[in-house]
Chain A
Amino acid sequence: MAEALARVKELYENRGQRVKELKSEGRKIIGYICCYPPAELITAAGCVPFRITGNLEPVTAADAYLETLMCPYVRNCFDMALKKKFDFLDGMIWPHTCDNIHKTYDIWKHNVPLPFFTFLDVPHMTDPSSIEFFSKEIALLKKGLEEFTGTPITAEGLKRAIAAHNENRVLLRRLSALRKQDPPLVSGTEMTQIITAVMVLPVDEANALLNGIIAEVRARKEGPRPKPARLLVYGSEIDDVTFIKLVEDSGAHVVIDDLCFGTRFYWDDVALDGDPLKDLAERYLGKIMCPRTYRRWPGTRQEDLDNRFGYIRSFAKDFDVKGAILYVIRYCDTFEFDVPDVRDYLQDAGIPCLVLEDDYSLTSIGGLKTRIEAFLEMIGS
C-alpha cells in the first residue's frame, strides 16, 4: 500500500496514537464531539483538536450511567471515556447540538473530569440574532481557551488557523472530486478512513497527509473496480468503515455522502474577510446542513424542502448516483423526524431510497446486508 494511505490506516486503527506522542512533547489535546465546535480555535490556541469517535465495541461500563434508549453513538463514546480510552485529553468542548449530546454534558463532566471542560451553546435557528448569539458563545470559548493555556489567541493567529482548516477542507473536496469518475478513484470505505484520520491530527500534519493521499490516488493505475451502482449515503455519525464497506461489498460504490464523518465536515469553508468569530459562527451554524438546525423559509412547502434538502439532490446529480441509502442511528430524533421528508424529496427526483434504522454497533449486519442487496437488485444493479 502507498505510504500516505498506509499512514491513514494506521491512524484510523489507532486514533489516539499521534496525539499521545504530541502530548508527551508537551502539547495540550482538546477533544470535541460532533461537527459544531470550531476546531480552528483549538489550533489557534496552540492545542491539538481531537474528534471524539466511538469504536463499535459493546457498551459495558456506560450502562450504569447512560440510558439504553438514547443515541448509541454517544453511549459508545462515553463508554470509551469511562474505560480511559481518552485519557490523553487535557480538555473537552461539549456543544449543544441535540438532546443526546446536550444531556450527556453534565454526566461526562461529572464522571470523567478534565482540567478544561467547556460547554458551547449552538442555537437551533439561523437568524441574524442566532449568529450573533453563537458568535458570543465562540468568543466565550476563545476566552476559556486563553485562560486555560495562559496565552492570548491573536486575530492573526486565528486567521492563520482558519486558513489552515480551510485548506484541509479544500483538500478533502479535491479528494472527493476524484469520486466523480466511474469507477471512482477512491472508495467510500477509504474516504471514511481518511476523514477519521484527518480528525485526529494537527491540521498541518493532516494537510500534508492529504496532499500525499491525493498524489497517491491520482497516480493509481488500479483503483476500485467498476461496480453496477453508484450510491449516496445519508446519515450521521458513521465513523467506522463497517457499514460503508458492507454497501461496497454488496456491489455498489459509495461515491458521495451526507454524513458527519463526510461532507458535513468539509463541504463549506470559513470566510476570511470579516470578524473571524462571526465568520466561524456563520460557517458552523449557517452552512453545516444537519437536521438539528432549523432553516426558516417563509415560502411554499416545496421551496422549504428545496432549501433544506436541495443540496442532497445536487450531490446526487454531480456524482451521478443511482440511489440513496438513508442510514439513521436509532434514537437520533432530529434525523428520525427528517427521514420521511428526505426520502420523499429524493424519490420525487427519481432517486430511489432505502431507509435503514439501526443502532451504531452494527450487530445486525446480516439483516442489513440482505436489505442492501435487495435494494441494489430493485434499482437494477
Chain B
Amino acid sequence: MNEAESDLKTSAKHWTEAAKKVRGMVKDMYTRAQGEGKPVAWVMMSMVNELFVAMDVLPVYPENYAGLCATKRIGEPFIQRAEADGYSDVTCSYARIGLGYAALWKDTGAIPDFAPDGGMATPVMLIGSSIACDTRYKWFQSFTRYLDVPCYNFDMPIPPAGRPRRSDAVMHYLDYVLVQMRGLIAFMEKTLGKKMDWDKLMEVVRRSEKTNALWYKAYTLAAKADLCPMPAEDALNCFVPGFFMSGTEEALDFYQGLYDEVKQKVDKKEGIIPEEKYRLIWGGGLPPWHTMDIFNYVEERGAIFVYQTTYQPFAPIELPDSVTDPLLRMILMRSSPAGMRIAQEQGLKSKSTDGAASITSPIFFVEPFRAQGVVMSMLRSCRGTSIGQLHQKRMLEERSPVPVLILEGDMCDIRDHSEAEWKRKFDTFFETMEARKVRH
C-alpha cells in the first residue's frame, strides 16, 4: 500500500477557504522538517510552541501525524506493530500509531514507504508533558524504546474544574509551571548548544497573543451567527495552526484570514445550509479522523454543528506591558477558558455550571450558541476526553435541557469504529429531536 492508493475520500467537505488551506500547511510542516536542515523536536502538544519558534527548532507533533495517518486510513500497520510489542489495544491510538511508526523505522532503518508526507523527520530530542492526560508523558517515555535521543518531560498540572480556586493554590501552580518551563528551556539549550533569545521569544509570544484573539473571535462569531458559516468540522481542521504553529507569522496570517472570511459571511448572512433545522454542539471527545465525512451526513439531514469544544482557543486577555516575562505571558494568555468567558458574557449564573466537571464542558455553550442538541464521542482509547461524558450528559439533561447523543468509537483506530452504527444513532437522535419539537 502506498499513500496514493490509500487516499480514500473520507474527509469532510471544507466550507471555508481557510479550512481548505490547512492540509497544505500540514504537508509543508512535515516537508520542511525533512528538508530545511534545522533541528527537529518530536513534541507532544503542550501549549509551548512559542519556545520552539524562538529557538528555531522545527517541532513535529506525532499526535498530529497520527491523526493524518488515520485520515488517510493508513494507521493500522503502525497500530499493529505497536501492539506486537505489547502495547495494549486500549492505549491511546495516537500513541500506538506513533510508537508503531518508530518501531517500524527502527526495524528497517528507513521511514516506511507508506508514511504520509514523507514521514516524520529524525528528531534531536523528544519533548512531552503532563498537560491534559497521562499519555502525554508516558508515550514520550516509551518512544525511548526505539529512538536514541534525549527525552524531556515537564509538568503542566491543571486542577479539576470543581476544585475551589484558593489564591494561595493559584500562586503555587503558577510558580511551579514557570520553573518547569524554565527547566525545559535549559534542556533545549543544552541539547542544541545555544541560548534562548528572550527578546525573540517575547516577540513570538506577542504574536501568539494576537493569533489567539483572532482565533477566538472567528470561532465564537461563527457559532453565534444566525446562520453558521463555519461548522465544527472546519473548526476541527482550523485549530491546527493554533495548536501546532502558534507564534509563527503563518498562524497569525491564517487566523486573520479566517476571521475576515467568517465576518464577511456573517455580515452577508451566508450559512452553510440555508435552513438550520437542528443546531448542535460537538461537546467532547475527539472526532473520528478516519471518517470525518460523517459531518456531511449530518448536514444532509439539515443539522449543523455550530461549535466544538474539543479544540478551542482560550478567551483573549489584554495583558499589560508590565508583564515582561514571556513565559508568564504564555501562561496567562491561556488562563481563561472560552466556555467560562462565554457563560459570563451570557450572564449565566455560576450555579448553572456547577459540577460541569470540565472547563470544556458543553454546558457553557448551549444557551449562548442557541444549540438544540449535544453530541459527544466516547473513545475506547482516550480516557482524557472520554471520562466525564456521562456526567456532562446528566448535567445537560438536568439543566438545559437538551438531548444528548453519545457515540462510541475511536479517533484513530478504525477497528473500533462502526460507520453504520453512527449513522443509525444520528438518525434516531434526529427523530428524538423532531419529536421534542412537536411536543413543544
Contacts and interface: CB of A to CB of B under 8 A. Distances in A.
A174 B98 CA distance: 45
A98 B388 contact: no
A136 B86 CA distance: 38
A341 B87 contact: no
A124 B130 contact: yes
A81 to B, nearest CB: 14
Given A291-B138, A296-B153, A338-B138, A69 B169 contact: no
B388 A106 contact: yes
Contacts of A66: 387, 390-391
Given A64-B394, A69-B378, A129-B176, A99 B87 contact: no
Interface in B95-150: 95, 130, 133-135, 137-139, 141-142, 144-145, 148, 150
Contacts of B163: 105, 119
Contacts of A129: 176, 179-180, 183
Interface in B153-205: 153-155, 157, 159-163, 166, 168-169, 172-173, 175-176, 179-180, 183
A105 B357 CA distance: 8
A294 interface: yes
A67 B389 contact: yes
A311 interface: no
Given A96-B157, A129-B180, A331-B90, A105 B130 contact: no
Given A99-B133, A110-B357, A69 B155 contact: no
Contacts of B135: 333, 337
A121 B157 contact: yes
A133 B155 CA distance: 11
B383 interface: yes
A123 B157 contact: yes
Interface string A270-294: 0000000000000000000001101
B337 interface: no
B184 to A, nearest CB: 11
B355 interface: yes
A330 interface: yes
Contact of B162 (A109, A130, A292, A301): A109
B130 A125 contact: yes
Contacts of A100: 383, 387
A46 B364 CA distance: 41
A364 to B, nearest CB: 16
Contacts of B386: 67, 69-70
A355 interface: yes
A182 to B, nearest CB: 31
Contacts of A123: 130, 155, 157, 176
Interface string B385-404: 01111110010000000000
A328 interface: yes
Nearest to A308: B141
B390 A99 contact: no
B91 interface: yes
Contact of B160 (A106, A333, A355): A106
Contact of B88 (A119, A121, A296, A357): A357
Contact of B153 (A110, A125, A340): A125
B85 interface: yes
Nearest to A99: B383
A333 B383 contact: yes
B235 interface: no
A104 B387 contact: yes
A298 B91 CA distance: 26
Band of interface residues on A:
35 or more
Task: With a 10 A CB-CB cut-off, give which of A98, A99, A109, A140 has the most chain B CB atoms.
Answer: A99
A292 B134 CA distance: 7
A67 B390 contact: yes
| Most chain B C-beta atoms within 10 Å of own C-beta, residue among A64, A98, A102, A104 | A102
B384 interface: yes
Nearest to A65: B390
A227 to B, nearest CB: 28
Interface in A46-100: 64-67, 69-71, 96, 98-100
B379 interface: yes
A343 to B, nearest CB: 6
Contacts of B176: 123, 129-130, 132-133
A298 B150 contact: yes
Given A119-B159, A140-B166, A294-B153, A106 B85 contact: no
A127 B357 contact: no
B137 A124 contact: yes
A339 interface: yes
A140 B169 contact: yes
Contacts of A64: 390, 394
Contacts of B391: 65-66, 106-107, 110
B379 A337 contact: no
Contacts of A298: 150
Given A106-B162, A127-B183, A140-B169, A333 B91 contact: yes
B357 A340 contact: no
Given A67-B387, A127-B183, A343 B86 contact: yes
Interface of B: 85-88, 90-92, 95, 130, 133-135, 137-139, 141-142, 144-145, 148, 150, 152-155, 157, 159-163, 166, 168-169, 172-173, 175-176, 179-180, 183, 354-358, 378-380, 383-384, 386-391, 394
- Considering the complex of A and B, which 9 residue pairs feature the smallest CB-CB distances, nearest first? A340-B86, A337-B138, A103-B387, A129-B179, A106-B357, A110-B355, A106-B162, A133-B176, A124-B130
Given A107-B391, A298-B150, A333-B91, 15 more contacts: A64-B394, A67-B386, A103-B160, A106-B388, A107-B388, A110-B357, A121-B173, A123-B176, A124-B157, A125-B154, A127-B180, A140-B169, A304-B144, A333-B92, A336-B87
Interface of A: 64-67, 69-71, 96, 98-100, 102-107, 109-110, 119, 121, 123-125, 127, 129-130, 132-133, 136-137, 140, 291-292, 294, 296, 298, 301, 304, 328, 330-331, 333-334, 336-341, 343, 355, 357
22 contacts: A70-B383, A71-B383, A96-B160, A103-B388, A106-B161, A107-B391, A119-B160, A121-B157, A123-B130, A124-B157, A129-B179, A133-B157, A133-B172, A133-B176, A136-B172, A137-B169, A294-B137, A333-B92, A336-B90, A337-B139, A341-B145, A355-B86
